[in-house]
Amino acid sequence: MTVLQEHFTMSNGVEIPKLGFGTWQTPDGVAPKAVQTALRVGYTHIDTARAYGNEAGVGQGLRAAGVPRDSIFVTTKVPAEMKTYEQAKQSIATSLAQLQFDHVDLLLIHAPKPWPEMFKPGAPRYFTENAAVWKALEEAFHDGQARAIGVSNFAIDDIENIASQCTVAPVANQIEFHIGHTQDELVAYCQAQGILVEAYSPIATGKLLDDPGIAAVAAKLGKSVAQVCIRYALQKGTLPLPKSVHDTYIAEDAQIDFVIDAGDMAALDAIGDVND
Ligand SMILES: NC(=O)c1ccc[n+]([C@@H]2O[C@H](COP(=O)([O-])OP(=O)(O)OC[C@H]3O[C@@H](n4cnc5c(N)ncnc54)[C@H](OP(=O)(O)O)[C@@H]3O)[C@@H](O)[C@H]2O)c1
């Protein structure tokens, strides 16, 4: 079995394909072709968001591919800025209308704070607001609009805030995770709680492509830097979400059926954060 055919089982029993296809910064007009290419090379899991402005194109591409709805896994997100129950309800309805699907497979709160405040020291934490937004996600889950619900960019205390008040627990946390940026404490917490970690930006939005340390491991294995980055995230027990709009890259990124041995994983672990 190839990675493309494998699944993680989330804590609510829903299976999620082990590799997902990202669509951030994929324009709405480009999304149909990118998504169709992804399905053609074997992806069955597509990640979008209201904030990406491409749900319509993603939905169009998925339908044009002519595959049964239940053979694909679609994730979308309630925007980080929408912090009331009513806004979240409205956003979920809009997402489904844009995608032209009656449900998504995974629905996430995009971030615990609005983006302008996300990395601002001393910004409010939005605990009460996130609990209200979570209520809307729980209703979507109960109404069959989402087969699973989760969070994104949530820190441990953001998750604990939801966990202490919810009736449906979050099954996934989609976070930035790549070589040099592995958020070990948060990942260990999520994995101990049975929360699946989805690794967004597994190639650091392209910033790792020129890294000489990764290039050395890639040359040794006869793989590309991108493939080593994606495989690294998978071997750490996370679910990588690579993004591309180029057919050759989309196909290449799906070919990660190889093993990085312990020595090379240690060498990759030692690489510093490209964001610093
Ligand atoms: N929840 C969140 O807040 C959040 C935040 C960021 C990302 N995400 C999700 O995670 C996905 C991936 O993250 P990302 O978009 O930041 O980037 P990424 O997958 O880390 O990197 C994408 C970049 O790498 C390039 N690339 C991909 N494969 C390549 C290859 N084989 N060879 C050379 N270049 C290659 C792409 O080029 P081209 O596109 O030009 O082909 C693009 O510039 C997003 O699309 C989104 O779905 C979520």
Summarize pLDDT for 264-273 with one digit per residue, the tens.
Answer: 999 999 999 9
Whole-number percent of the chain with pLDDT over 70? 100
Per 3-state DSSP, the chain is made up of helix, strand and coil in percentages (nearest 5) of 45, 15, 40
Average pLDDT, the chain: 98
Atom number of ligand 1 nearest to Cα 249: 31
- Write the CA distances from 272 to 21, 179, 206, 230, integer angstroms: 26, 8, 15, 17
Each residue of 217-228: pLDDT tens digit?
999 999 999 999
Each residue of 45-65: pLDDT tens digit?
999 999 999 999 999 999 999
Reported confidence tier of residue 275, pLDDT bands at 50, 70, 90: confident
Q: How far away, in angstroms, is 202 Cα from ligand 1 center?
A: 7
Distance, in Å, from the CA atom of 86 to the CA atom of 131, rounded to the nearest integer, reads 12
Each residue of 99-151: pLDDT tens digit?
999 999 999 999 999 999 999 999 999 999 999 999 999 999 999 999 999 99
Distance, in Å, from the CA atom of 225 to the CA atom of 242, rounded to the nearest integer, reads 12
User: Does the CB atom of residue 256 touch ligand 1 within 6 A?
Assistant: no
User: Which residues form the catalytic set?
Assistant: 52
Instruction: Note the pLDDT of residue 131.
Output: 98
DSSP letter assigned to residue 189: H
Q: How many residues does the chain have?
A: 276
pTM as predicted: 0.98
**pLDDT at residue 182 above 90?**
yes
When pLDDT is averaged across residues 176-194 and rounded to a whole number, the result is 98
Hey, which of 115, 200, 223 would you mutate to test ligand 1's pocket, going by the most ligand atoms within 8 Å of its Cβ?
200
Distance, in Å, from the CA atom of 203 to the CA atom of 226, rounded to the nearest integer, reads 6
**What b-and-e string marks burial along 183-205, b requiring 16 or more CB atoms within 10 Å of the CB?**
beebbebbeebebbbbbbbbbbb
Closest to 236 (Cα-Cα) out of 168, 276, 184, 194: 184
Tell me the CA end-to-end span of the chain in Å, nearest whole number.
38
Q: How far away, in angstroms, is 93 Cα from ligand 1 center?
A: 27
Q: What dihedral do alpha carbons 213, 207, 29, 63 form, nearest 10°?
A: 40
Instruction: Note the pLDDT of residue 276.
Output: 80
β-partners of residue 78 are: 109
C-beta separation of 79 from 24 below 8 A:
no
Atom number of ligand 1 nearest to Cα 246: 41
User: Does the CB atom of residue 201 touch ligand 1 within 6 A?
Assistant: yes
When pLDDT is averaged across residues 195-206 and rounded to a whole number, the result is 98
